[in-house]
Amino acid sequence: MGWWETEDGVLVGDGPLDECEELLERVSSEYSDEYGRKPTLRELLTCFALVLRHQADNFVADADEILITDVVARTKKRPRKPRLRPGDVFSVPLGTGEFAFGRLTPQDGVVDFFTIKSRVRLGTSKLKAVKTLRFPGAIALSPLLERRWKIVGHLPYADNEFQVQRFKMAGLVACGDGLLDGFIDVSSRLEPATAAELASLPEFALWGEELVEEWLKERLR
């Protein structure tokens, strides 16, 4: 179990953070069970304040020096997440001063990457003539939603240009055609796999940001 100090000099550790997460999950479940929703931030902080106001001696080392009247949080408005579309082209910083470039296919999590890297973010006018290669698995899109991978343009797929990639999932084949946020979700339907499909189809795996970037560095070397 690790312990460290934050930038403000506050001592924290893996164990206390795990316990806090479990506590928050239980409090949230209480609200969900009773009212069908999660608590608001203000409701959550008020619960903490009411407990600490009367029982701080049981939980904190400096309770003798303070009188707890309220617990507040400093907040700021969360940036709106971008709306992703099939054909969106984006840049991936490789940590080497260079960028790779990907294109969202019509299938959720399936990405084509351009076989080029650059020290500047290229636009679609330069990328559209570059060959692409298909990433071997599904990619978590959180780096795009959180803007660590930045959208640089849009190149829509022509009719019949894209072929859906099916995956093996626990001995079944993901072959659905339902939509998830505007993208094809093959996991919306699962069917028994044939022997040929078990031998040929890739196993479904969701790749995270760091693994994708390492794969790109190797392939674009």
pLDDT band at 204 (very low <50, low <70, confident <90, very high): very high
Q: How many CA atoms lie within 13 A of 101 on its CB side?
A: 27
pLDDT at 171 over 90: no
Q: Is the pTM of this model over 0.95?
A: no
Query: CB–CB of 158/87 below 8 Å?
Result: no
Q: Using DSSP, state whether 58 is helix, strand or coil.
A: helix
Question: What is the per-residue pLDDT for 137?
Answer: 92
Q: What is the pLDDT of residue 142?
A: 93
Q: Which residues contact residue 90 at a Cβ distance below 8 angstroms, ignoring those fewer than 6 apart?
A: 101, 102, 103, 104, 144, 149, 150, 151, 152
Laid out side by side, the sheet with 99-104 consists of 132-134, 111-118, 99-104, 88-93, 150-154
Rounded average pLDDT over 132-148:
93
**Looking at residue 135, what is its pLDDT?**
95
The structure tokens 């055609």 sit at 177
- Judged against a pLDDT cut of 80, whether residue 12 lies above it is answered with yes
Q: Are 39 and 27 in contact (CB under 8 A)?
A: yes
Q: Which of 110, 93, 91 is nearest to 101 (CA)?
A: 91
Mean predicted confidence (pLDDT) in 152-161: 92
pLDDT at 156 over 70: yes
Q: Indicate whether 111 pLDDT > 70.
A: yes
Range in 43-52, 58-67, 122-131 the model is least confident about: 58-67
Going by pLDDT thresholds of 50, 70 and 90, the confidence category of residue 1 is low
Q: What gap in Å lies between CA 192 and CA 172, rounded to an integer? A: 5
Round the average pLDDT of the chain to a whole number and report it.
Answer: 92
Band (90; pLDDT cuts 50, 70, 90): very high
pLDDT at 207: 94
**Per-residue pLDDT band at 109 (split at 50, 70, 90):** very high
Specify the pLDDT at position 79.
Answer: 74
Residue 127 has pLDDT above 60, yes or no: yes
